[in-house]
Amino acid sequence: MSVQYPLVEASASAPLAQRLTRGDQVVKFIRTKPLGAAGAAVILAMMFVAAFAGTLARYDPYQGDYSLQFARPSTEHWLGTDEFGRDLLTRIMYGARIALFVGFTASFTGCTLGALLGVLSAYWGGTVDLLLERLMDILLAFPQLILALAIASILGPAIQNVVVAIAIPIVPRVARVVRATALSVKEHQYVEAVQALGAQRKRVVFQHIVPNVMTPYIIMLTAQFGGAILAEAALSYLGLGTADPTPSWGLMLSGSAPLYAEKAPWMAVFPGVAISLGVFGFNLFGDSLRDALDPKLRRG
Amino acid sequence: MRVYLAKRILLIVPTLLGVASLVFVIMRVIPGDVALLILGGDSGQIDRAQLAAMHHRLGLDQPLVVQFGTWLWAALHFDFGASLWTGRPVVEELLVRLPLSLELAILATIVAVVLAIPFGMLAAMRQDSWLDYVIRVISIGGLAIPSFWAGILVILFLVINFGWGPPLEFTPPWVDPWANFQQMVWPVVTVGYRYAAVTTRMTRSTLLEVMREDYIRTAWAKGLAERVIVIRHALKNAMLPVITLIGTEFAFLIGGLVVTETVFTLNGVGRFVVDAVAHRDYPVVQALVFVIAFGFVIVNLLIDLTYAWFDPRIRYR
Amino acid sequence: MAAGFRHHPRLFTAAVLALLVAWALMATPAAVQAAETPRRGGILLAAIAAEPPSLDPHQESTFANIQLVAPFYSTLLQFDPYNFPKIIGDVATEWKVAPDGRTYTFKIRQGIRFHDGSPLTAADVKASYDKIVAPPDGVRSIRKTAYSVIERIETPDSATVVFKLRSVSASLLANLASPWNVIYPKKYLDKDPNYFRSNVVGSGPFKFKSYVHGSTLEGERNPDYFVKDRPYLDGFKFFISTETSVRAAAIRSGRAYIEFRDFPLAEVEAIKKQLGDKVVVQETPVTASWNITINNRLKPFSDIRVRKALSLAIDRYTMSRVLYPINGLKLLGIALRPGSEWAMSAAELEKLPGFGRDADRSRAEAKRLLAEAGFPNGFKVVLKNRNIRLPYLDFAVFVIQEWRKIGIEVEHRPLETAAWFADGQDTGNFELMVTPPVRFMDDPDLWVNMFVTGDTENWGRMSDPRLDDLFKRQTQTLDPVERKKLVNEMERIVVDNAYLIPGLWWTRNMVHWAKVKNYVAPPNYYSNQKLQDVWLAED
């Protein structure tokens, strides 16, 4: 699949556009893309909670009240308690940190590495391109979850290893898309003309290829974020993700959902809602961002 | 065209070789000894001599290169050896589980295609309208909601309120369609929802792009009805990336539905592979990854050929 | 009618009496119904929690194996299904032990036939046991070391088997009652000792019907079973189902009538709430405990003060209260199962370090010991575990929280079984590790061997000559009173030196539909799986 992203070109016939202030741009975004704005709001809320979990939370996420195991939601514990009497709301707040950390680090690492490889591969061409393309194909052909599983098994369970395990399958997927974009840039006559005029290689790359690659890069970044959070949940379900007592949403979901869903449904429902909201937010925002950045998709 | 075809087919070889090597290396790097696992069981006593004998019997004491070479040579003859864990031929183990995975994949694909294309079209044709928003939100729901969580909650709901639980064994649809339906309906819905979601989004975005093309604008200008434009002109070109997506997702479905199969206790290929990884059952993992990769590569080849057929520029790259 | 009664007082009294008797009969508890006659017929549907690598019990130690194949086979001796751990015969009708304790003679019942029609004789018993005691090349016998005391097996005639031992053994009879030691027909073993990994030919109450890997196993009634009038069932169908919630759903929807292993308390409550009297829950203690193994060779754990501090910091009484509703860990004990004939009493236990009732005092003592050992502010450590949720992970989470209170920061590292084995058993690459001894019976030989220097189960790599000596003595002490004293002494030494941190013993909750009759859950999930006396009150 190769989605062609159009080049950003100056056009002599375009009217002089007004320079919008940052504030105006944000307002415009909210007005024209309400879904995206909602997504952004969710993301910001998540970041806020993650940053200030320490002050916002009423309880210690690790120490439970042993006399209140499986307590229903109440004024004391807004979302109830879990099997050890730990406050669920507190753990969900702290869990935002892990979700953001895993989501961001995994998708950022994977996408950046993938984008780099894609650009390099497209730009240098020849044997480098051939080799890199083969490598990416091999990684792509490998079933994603199995790859993540195997890597997690090798490295052992620790949050940084989970990040690596999730990031690696992302690399070839991003590389493929970025390479296609970079290739189309490279082949555009405009770039050839600039090179013919003697512009340095580095300049060509940075001034022309990179800006055009930014769009798919950013889009994949936001798209993979949600996927990374879900992958962590799936790995936890299979026993290879983060470990209790770490408050990770994926872990809470995989452990509690099946076992205590009837005895203490709040344990199964709220972490799932948190994950769904988070992934929802990132996807909504990413979608609208793409719609906004991609001139071809703009209304017109 | 022929040159292109030959080149593409030739490129499959290093890819498959690479996958085979990668899975081999990865599995050996993972700490853990299948022999120890077999002897250890739940919590048994390990006899050193028995451990050594088992290593020898399983061929694990030979140099790695020899082990790889032996396996690869046999694999090229479709002899994938025997499972280290059960001792039965890998092919036999695979064939027991394949029908279920295939049925799940096919049904989920049908659900996805039947839902995604019409909804994707609608969303594109009515971009930024309420209909578009609703479709987009529901689609993202399919991506955002962890499927195993949803599956567990669905089953629990049914158990609590109707006292109904899914059947515990697989009956092929030609033997007992009702039993088959009962077992497959919820996994198909869960997987199909996600699959449909991804495909809907892809359909929508490619259709939007295509509709901005100049030749479509010409058709508008000519006064053709919207439906005619979309179906007869735009859809054809928009379909290529969508078909690619369906193809790659299908290849993924055969071995990738690990969590779904675990949650719904389906005796399928995905769970089998994961169990094999946990058991360090090298022949099984190697064989399955190889087969899945093979399928993936073939599907990709067919898709690329389709592209090349339609777009002459690609052939002459 | 009331008017009529006034005129006939005797009739009135008789009527009242009759009513009273009828009411009394209806209110009689179910105990009276024990005199029910078993109903013949029906297929027992059961959910099994795992699939074994093979069908040969000699070679496996997972419950999944024995639960699947036990109905097909017979053993020499067995644990009385209704009176664990009493030993009764299965294929053996009587036995004698020579005065020197080194010769055991068994008489085999006449007329037993294998499912293929051939008769079961002493030769088959000998061949099966030879395979267990001295397996040929390429065949594994997973419990071989327990039988190393057997020197040779003789068959003076077709109905007698004689075991000659190298030395006196207090555990031999119990080992011979092991449900794993099934009797195979010799002629198949001669052809291929691994034949029974994928084939079934036994002499048990049920015959093999079909096996779909990863899915189902079926058996049908053996009409020629040597116990008259058994089995009652027409057959059984086992479903392999690895997800606890799916097994629970199967019981709740009636797709399975019984689950042989265990459900967490939360599931049990849910099932009971939905089905009420239609299900029966049997709670039994299990021959399984969860402990923390310390790597005694590694600093700082080679320092006894550090080890003792780790054990003292754990409030076991609170742990039992908190963990029982979560994962079934309940009873306090050390190396022998609390409630068995070998365990120390609760009073004796309370006097030992780590088992005191005053948790605050123990904790203060732990902090003091740590400071003395050079760690006034605690230290960081990695606790390795197996990545199975119940009961491994929650046990570790509780303990980690207890250690946090004395300043020890723990990184919890659950490993896949393969890696857990490699690190624990094979290389000893760990600081602290969760380990669960799980056995099929209470005999001390199976439990205190892990304290012996160099034993393969001594994951903690401890070495104390007193323990080695005591072990040798207890394994040859036939008098149970004397033996108990020796074994308890071993436990005391272990706890005083904190070579191992004892955790809790497991209690399981087995659930089945009330229509499944005559199944008594033993305190382990290996024995009593033959199902010969089980019957279904209705289909």
Q: Specify the amino acid at residue A169.
A: P
What DSSP string runs through B253-285?
HHHH-HHHHHHTT---HHHHHHHHHHTT-HHHH
CB nearest B37 (choices: C137, C249, C417): C417
Q: Give pLDDT, residue A298.
A: 47
Using 50, 70 and 90 to split pLDDT, how confident is the model at C23?
low
Indicate yes or no: CB of B30 within 8 angstroms of CB of A275. Answer: no
Q: What is the pLDDT of residues B128-171, one digit of tens each?
A: 788 888 888 888 888 888 877 888 788 888 888 887 878 888 88
A157: contact with C, CB 8 A cutoff: yes
What DSSP string runs through C274-300?
HHGGGEEEEEEEEEEEEEEEE-TTSTT
Count of C-beta atoms within a 10 Å radius of residue B232 = 12
Residues C226/C203, Cβ–Cβ less than 8 Å: yes
* pLDDT value at C75 more than 90: yes
Q: Which of B253, B281, B280, B290 is nearest to B269 (CA)?
A: B253
Check the CA dihedral C185-C189-C192-C196 and report its sign: positive
Q: Which of C66, C42, C48, C67 is nearest to C56 (CA)?
A: C66
Q: Specify the amino acid at residue B295.
A: G
Q: ∠B255-B257-B259 over CA atoms, to 5°?
A: 135
- A145 contacts in B (CB within 8 Å)? 256, 258-259, 270, 274
A with B: how many residue pairs have Cβ under 8 Å apart? 155
* C342 vs A214 pLDDT, higher one: C342
What DSSP string runs through C338-370?
TTSTTSPPHHHHHTSTT--S-HHHHHHHHHHHH
- Residues paired with C329 in a beta bridge: C506
- Distance, in Å, from the CA atom of B35 to the CA atom of B50, rounded to the nearest integer, reads 9
Q: Give pLDDT, residue C35.
A: 55
Beta-strand relationship, C279-294 and C500-513: antiparallel
Q: Give pLDDT, residue C181.
A: 93
- A66 contacts in C (CB within 8 Å)? 318, 321-322
Q: Which of A150, A138, B300, A242 is nearest to C414 (CA)?
A: A242
Mean pLDDT of chain B: 79
- Distance, in Å, from the CA atom of C455 to the CA atom of C504, rounded to the nearest integer, reads 23
Beta-carbon contacts of residue C382 (< 8 Å; ≥ 6 apart): C410, C411, C413, C430, C431, C432
A154: contact with C, CB 8 A cutoff: no
- B48 contacts in C (CB within 8 Å)? 456
* pLDDT value at B244 more than 80: no
* B187 vs A34 pLDDT, higher one: B187
Residues C301/C499, Cβ–Cβ less than 8 Å: no
| Residue matched to tokens 């996958």 | B19
- Averaged over A73-80, what is the pLDDT? 89
- Distance, in Å, from the CA atom of B225 to the CA atom of B220, rounded to the nearest integer, reads 8
- A262 contacts in B (CB within 8 Å)? 156, 160
Least confident among B306-310, C337-341, C459-463: B306-310
Q: What 8-state DSSP symbol labels residue A6?
A: P
Q: Give pLDDT, residue B264.
A: 80
Using 50, 70 and 90 to split pLDDT, how confident is the model at B311?
low
Entry pTM: 0.83
CB nearest C62 (choices: B42, B45, B93): B42
- Distance, in Å, from the CA atom of A215 to the CA atom of A208, rounded to the nearest integer, reads 13
- A63 contacts in C (CB within 8 Å)? 401, 404
- Distance, in Å, from the CA atom of B205 to the CA atom of A215, rounded to the nearest integer, reads 15
Mean pLDDT of chain C: 88
Q: Give pLDDT, residue C317.
A: 94
Residues C486/C447, Cβ–Cβ less than 8 Å: no
Beta-carbon contacts of residue A237 (< 8 Å; ≥ 6 apart): A250, A253, A254, B148, B259, B262
Using 50, 70 and 90 to split pLDDT, how confident is the model at C2?
very low
Beta-carbon contacts of residue A51 (< 8 Å; ≥ 6 apart): none
- Distance, in Å, from the CA atom of A189 to the CA atom of A204, rounded to the nearest integer, reads 13
- Averaged over C157-164, what is the pLDDT? 93
Q: Which long-range contacts (CB under 8 A, 24 or more apart) does C93-100 make?
A: C100/C168
Mutation test of the interface with chain A: which of B17, B149, B220, B250, choosing the one with the most A Cβ atoms within 10 A? B149
> Which chains share 3+ C-beta pairs under 8 angstroms with A?
B, C
In whole angstroms, how far apart are CA B124 and each of A209, A299, B116, B131, C320?
29, 11, 12, 10, 60
Least confident among A16-20, A225-229, A262-266, B288-292: A16-20
Q: Give pLDDT, residue C30.
A: 43
* pLDDT value at C200 more than 90: yes
3-state secondary structure A12-71: CCCCCCCCCCHHHHHHHHHHHCHHHHHHHHHHHHHHHHHHHHHHHCCCCCCCCCHHHCCC
Mutation test of the interface with chain B: which of A248, A259, A283, A290, choosing the one with the most B Cβ atoms within 10 A? A283
Element (H, E) at C209: strand C206-212
Least confident among A139-153, B37-51, B268-282, C147-161: B37-51
Distance from CA of B317 to the nearest CA of C (A): 48
What DSSP string runs through C427-492?
I---SEEEE--B-SS--GGGTGGGGSTT-TT-TT----HHHHHHHHHHHT---HHHHHHHHHHHHH
B317: contact with A, CB 8 A cutoff: no
3-state secondary structure of A241: coil
Q: ∠C491-C492-C494 over CA atoms, to 5°?
A: 65
3-state secondary structure of A282: helix
Using 50, 70 and 90 to split pLDDT, how confident is the model at C81?
confident
Residues B262/A240, Cβ–Cβ less than 8 Å: no
* pLDDT value at C372 more than 80: yes
Q: What 8-state DSSP symbol labels residue C33?
A: G
3-state secondary structure of C211: strand
Least confident among A77-81, B47-51, C259-263: B47-51
φ, ψ dihedrals at C92, nearest 5° = -90, 140
Q: Which of A15-29, B91-105, C290-304 has the highest mean pLDDT?
A: C290-304
- Distance, in Å, from the CA atom of C315 to the CA atom of C503, rounded to the nearest integer, reads 10
- Distance, in Å, from the CA atom of C104 to the CA atom of C157, rounded to the nearest integer, reads 15
- Averaged over B7-17, what is the pLDDT? 81
Indicate yes or no: CB of C326 within 8 angstroms of CB of A157. Answer: no
Beta-carbon contacts of residue C272 (< 8 Å; ≥ 6 apart): C279, C281
Q: Which of C371, C390, C185 is nearest to C267 (CA)?
A: C390
- Averaged over C507-524, what is the pLDDT? 92
* pLDDT value at C473 more than 80: yes
* pLDDT value at C107 more than 70: yes
Q: Which of B27-31, B223-227, C381-385 has the highest mean pLDDT?
A: C381-385
Q: Give pLDDT, residue A299.
A: 43
Structure tokens at B148: 């195993």
Q: What is the pLDDT of residues B254-272, one digit of tens each?
A: 766 777 887 787 888 888 8
- Distance, in Å, from the CA atom of C260 to the CA atom of C276, rounded to the nearest integer, reads 19
Cβ-based burial of B290 (10 A; exposed 0-12, middle 13-18, buried ≥19): buried
Indicate yes or no: CB of C245 within 8 angstroms of CB of B155. Answer: yes
* pLDDT value at C34 more than 60: no
Q: Give pLDDT, residue C32.
A: 40
B247: contact with A, CB 8 A cutoff: no
- C412 contacts in A (CB within 8 Å)? 243-246
Whole-number percent of chain C with pLDDT over 90? 62
Using 50, 70 and 90 to split pLDDT, how confident is the model at C27?
very low
Chain C nearest-CA residue for B163: C253
| Residue matched to tokens 């000596």 | C469
- Distance, in Å, from the CA atom of B300 to the CA atom of A136, rounded to the nearest integer, reads 13
Interface ipTM: 0.79
Residues B202/B245, Cβ–Cβ less than 8 Å: yes
Burial A45-54 (b: 16+ CB within 10 A, else e): ebeebbeebe
- Give how far the C-alpha of residue B156 lies from the chain's centroid of Cα atoms, to the nearest Å: 26
Residues A62/C404, Cβ–Cβ less than 8 Å: yes
- Distance, in Å, from the CA atom of A134 to the CA atom of B25, rounded to the nearest integer, reads 17
Q: Give pLDDT, residue C241.
A: 84
Mutation test of the interface with chain C: which of B30, B34, B37, B42, choosing the one with the most C Cβ atoms within 10 A? B42
Cβ-based burial of C166 (10 A; exposed 0-12, middle 13-18, buried ≥19): exposed
- Distance, in Å, from the CA atom of C67 to the CA atom of B221, rounded to the nearest integer, reads 75
Per-window interface: B 168-227 vs A, CB < 8 A: 201, 205-206, 208-209, 212
Q: Which of B64, B94, B73 is nearest to B82 (CA)?
A: B94
Q: Which of A37-41, C23-27, C504-508 has the highest mean pLDDT?
A: C504-508
Q: Give pLDDT, residue C378.
A: 86
- Distance, in Å, from the CA atom of B207 to the CA atom of C190, rounded to the nearest integer, reads 70
User: What is chain B's length?
Assistant: 317
Q: Give pLDDT, residue B312.
A: 61
- Distance, in Å, from the CA atom of C457 to the CA atom of C450, rounded to the nearest integer, reads 5
Indicate yes or no: CB of A297 within 8 angstroms of CB of B209. Answer: yes
- Averaged over A177-186, what is the pLDDT? 76
Using 50, 70 and 90 to split pLDDT, how confident is the model at C5?
very low
- Averaged over A282-289, what is the pLDDT? 82
Distance from CA of A51 to the nearest CA of B (A): 23
